[in-house]
Homo-oligomer: A and B are copies of this chain.
Amino acid sequence: MSVLSAQKMVEKWNIFEAELPGPSAGNPFTEQKIEGMFCSKNEEKTVAGFYDGEGRYKVRFMPSFEGEYKYELKASFLSETETGTFMVTAPGEGNHGPVRVADTYHFAYEDGTRYYSIGTTCYVWTLQTDELPEQTLETLKNSAFNKIRFCIFPKHYDYNLDEPASYPYEGTPCDSSVLTKENFQEYSGCAPGNDWDYYRFNPVHFQKFEAQIKNLMELGIEADIIVMHPYDRWGFSEMPAKCDDLYWNYVIARLSAFRNVWWSLANEFDLLSKKSDADWERYAKIICEKDVYNHLRSIHNCKSFYDYNRPWITHCSIQRQDIYKTGELTDEWRLRYKKPIVIDEMAYEGNIQHGWGNISGRELVRRFWETTCRGGYAGHGETFLHPEDILWWSHGGTLHGESPKRLKFLYQILSEIPNARGLAPKKMNWDEVAAVPDTTMGADDYYLIYYGFNRPSFRTYKLAKDRSYEVDVIDTWEMSVENKGIYSGAFTVELPGKEYMAVRIKRVK
């Protein structure tokens, strides 16, 4: 037996993959084991492989350095170690490596390029049928979104009662024809009629899932993968610990070599009534041990926050806890956790009946700016009633709201911060939400001041007398930037007395 296929050349931060033939008898998922050791002059890593169905086993590896790598593959079904070499070339255009935490509160790709997160959520877009997933990719391509949150498991919830395109396990689902908008909540957890083998994965489900991760990677979009969630009628949210662990190991073996992966242990973890903090800590331990690339890790709340102080949590993935204050609490959370603040759910633009899914585009964009000017990152979602119940928030498709193009504009503003820095909240006037760059480097050279629903007709700023500052008035809703000229010392800027204005001050001398 020998390696069926293996690359000879791979781009840094892309995936080297080796495929081996092996036994399909018995249960390959539990009875067989495969791993690879990878070695170059800069790194040495051992990663688990996985069974991909039809007698095929795979080992994936993401190299972090250029140059020659050697590898050894060992498997329970191999009598000898398979070895080989490959070359790692320079990263291609748009390949900046995995996203890492930078400057305590921010993110940068591994090559140092700043990453300003503008996230969105399409929970089960990869599990939709027909042309919908392709349409979603097309929509993403034309948007500012550079992170998307989505689930591995299918979703059972209001507007989500159809069968998914595939299931993660071998078996048969319960009968969904009995479900209605009125009764679906009675079928939660493992509904009667399910017949799954939680020890046998369905490789096709994962193949399709990871193909979409790759598609996102090519669009420069981070895949914030929700590994567990409570919206369930199949029992995937209440499997025995042994099956959970098997699942976590399988997911990590398959997906961790994708550079754009972020781990979200769960969405609304506190709604998974069968899981305890000890379970979450155990999953976290598995990730920390098995994901040799140290992808970003977090866990998303419904009501109560998980303890974001836990050392394995790289950033806060927050659902707002207050109906009125969302982004407004960013600076408090920064102080409390000393990690990047990502408010992944702060209510969605839309008009559905649920209170988390019916705010206006204006309000959502306001929340993004509030978050941004307090040194955090916000997340988008969209939930408009649709004749075929296709809601971006869960199914993807096309966008109907007013916020996405304003978020593109916000991204543009962020990308113009001198020296590509992150923002930190700054106390200026009591009614201003003001930000300056988050590092001390180049202090007093940039201010971004947001007025939200306040509508001042003018504002006086007091800056250094011996310096010069260029002032722009930004209409965050109309997406315009008006240059007001150069000022020094104390100066007054006229403003249009409208909502949603910002002032940008850049030191020029």
Residue numbers of A with Cβ under 8 A of B are: 323-325, 328, 350-356, 358-360, 363, 385, 429-432, 453-460, 497, 499
Contact = CB atoms under 8 A, between A and B. Distances in A.
A497 B356 CA distance: 13
A454 B355 contact: yes
A459 B353 contact: yes
Contacts of A358: 454-457, 497
A351 B325 CA distance: 23
Contact of A455 (B324, B351, B499): B351
A366 to B, nearest CB: 10
B429 A355 contact: yes
Contact of A454 (B359, B431, B432, B499): B359
A308 to B, nearest CB: 22
Interface hub of A325, A430, A456 (most chain B Cβ within 10 A):
A456
Contacts of A360: 453, 455, 499
B325 A455 contact: no
A456 B348 CA distance: 12
Given A350-B455, A354-B456, 16 more contacts: A324-B325, A325-B325, A352-B456, A352-B457, A353-B460, A354-B431, A355-B430, A355-B431, A355-B432, A358-B454, A358-B456, A358-B457, A359-B453, A360-B499, A363-B453, A385-B497
Contacts of A432: 355
Given A356-B431, A358-B497, A385-B497, A457 B325 contact: no
Contacts of A457: 351-353, 358, 385
A504 B131 CA distance: 44
Contacts of A363: 453
A432 B458 CA distance: 36
Contacts of A429: 355
Nearest to A359: B453
Nearest to A455: B358
A355 B429 CA distance: 9
Nearest to A303: B430
Given A325-B324, A453-B360, A351 B497 contact: yes
20 contacts: A324-B324, A324-B325, A350-B455, A351-B457, A351-B497, A352-B456, A353-B456, A353-B457, A353-B460, A354-B431, A354-B456, A355-B429, A355-B431, A356-B431, A358-B457, A359-B453, A360-B453, A360-B455, A360-B499, A385-B497
Nearest to A433: B323
A323 B359 contact: no
A455 B430 CA distance: 30
Nearest to A458: B353
A122 B141 CA distance: 54
Contacts of A324: 324-325, 328
Interface hub of A385, A453, A455 (most chain B Cβ within 10 A):
A455
Nearest to A366: B453
A353 B385 CA distance: 40
Interface hub of A325, A356, A453, A460 (most chain B Cβ within 10 A):
A453
Contacts of A499: 360
Contacts of A359: 453-455
A471 to B, nearest CB: 16
A59 to B, nearest CB: 48
Contacts of A355: 429-432, 454, 456
Contacts of A385: 457, 497
Contacts of A460: 353
A270 B164 CA distance: 62
A456 B359 CA distance: 9
A363 B431 CA distance: 16
Nearest to A459: B353
Contacts of A454: 355, 358-359
Contacts of A323: 328, 430-431
A455 B504 CA distance: 32
Nearest to A431: B355
Contacts of A430: 323, 355
Interface hub of A323, A350, A363 (most chain B Cβ within 10 A):
A323
Contacts of A351: 455-457, 497
Contacts of A356: 431
A157 to B, nearest CB: 16
